Structure 1
Amino acid sequence: MELEESFKILGIDENASIEELNITFRKLAKKYHPDFNHDREEWANKKMTQINLAYEVALNYFTSPSRKSASKDFKDRIWIFNKYFNRAKNYILQGMLIYYQYGLENPHLRNEGVRRIRFNDSIRYVEKGIKSLKDIYSTITDKAQKESCKILLEFSTAFFRNMNSSTYFRPSGNAYEDEAYWHFHNGIVLLDEAIKEIFFGDLIINIPNRGNYISKLSRSYEEFVLVVSEYPKSSWVVDTILQIYLVELLTKLIKVFKEMNY
């Protein structure tokens, strides 16, 4: 009997465990064994012969040294990916935490005493995480792992660009520019609050309206889109496009972290 046929008879596939194989076999035996089918013993005997043979073929497959080795290799690769992915993620989050704990999202604070040192620390951590992610991305082949790595890499790279932005608001007396700025500013505040809550809810105290990060993300996105659509000639459009990209990546990243149980 071919392996594929045995799987079909047993109703399992190659990803089943030996425990699942045994449970399936017992269920089928209870259903088709002649002892439970006195009114059609000949038919039951044929069915059980098929099931026994299928079980033997499948068991040989699941207990073969080559499959054990492949299974171990697969588990090892997952463990290695998680180890290095977590390390890169932690570098990035450490940098982001310092950035927010010291109020460094406000460019005018970045050169004040200890804040200047902490700003450099935050940059260094995020840079280190990005480099680690690039190394991981270049070596892995698993499609799902590669996609998870790519999303975190894109998000952290965009956030890094954001960290290095030093755009100050200076009232211009131009209503068009100033209105564009205030929509941009509102979006930034909402986005920063959402990021703080998503990643550092237990570590950062001063987060207004906790438990509402999804709404904050949505509202920040609306503010940014408003800048681009209603003030397309504003000097704030370029910075705003980066923020839109950041919100989109953050939304994807939340999903990735949930799937990976982070």
Structure 2
Amino acid sequence: MTTAEASRHAVSRLHTKYCDHGLLHGAYQPRRDRHLPSNMYGDMGVKLVQHAKRTQNLAHLPPYQAELVRAVTREVRDLDKDVKDLLEPFQGSFDPSADQAVACTLLVNHLSMRRNKRCLLAYHRTRTDKLEELVWNGSDVVDLSGQQVRDSSAANGAPTAGEASTSSLSPQEEEYVRQYSDLLAAYKGQWTDIDLTGSLEPPRDLFIDVRVLKDAGEIQTEYGAITLTKNSQFYVRQGDVERLIAQGYLQKLG
């Protein structure tokens, strides 16, 4: 069999196999996620990359796409099972030059698995970078993500149901944020006189007017303790409240 004939044979086998599994002509659906729309085989990996691209241009972190991640992971498992089924009759003695059609099929499956893996890695790396950026900016990431979900639900007129729907982070991301914050706190502890997460731009005014957006309790400043209650206003040293402004507790006026 010539190389051209082997390639045509491989394409024919792939077409037959994917049609049998409903993977062509927009018929693919994950086994358990039947509520997802029909997709061409591999399209869900593209959707993850599109979500990652959109995340790079947002100031906040959108909800974690758990359903898509599970579907892409399941595609990889299905492809791996197909590879094992193709190689099983050869009992470990497969010769690519002797059966080029099977070799081509194996190559396509292998490249598809690698592509899905890269899509998964790109999606999670983008979200990790955004989480680290928020932590360095002094934001309370877990509280901020929960507030975003609550605001979105209120805007849509749909109340949140249960703890699982009150955060835009996955449980693994919440744990990552906690551990990364602990590492950052330990690192900053070596430089007690320097706020490593503070703004690199010098303040224009030493003292500023601020409004309290949500209760923050009592804080200690250079000039004594003040109690931050919602809707109250204060004239304070900017260096004492920069972190609270970044975390969304205070709003700078003027």
TM-score of the two chains, using structure 2 as the length reference: 0.25
Name the larger-Rg structure: 1
The higher-RCO structure (CA 8 Å, 6+ apart) is 2
TM-score of the two chains, using structure 1 as the length reference: 0.25
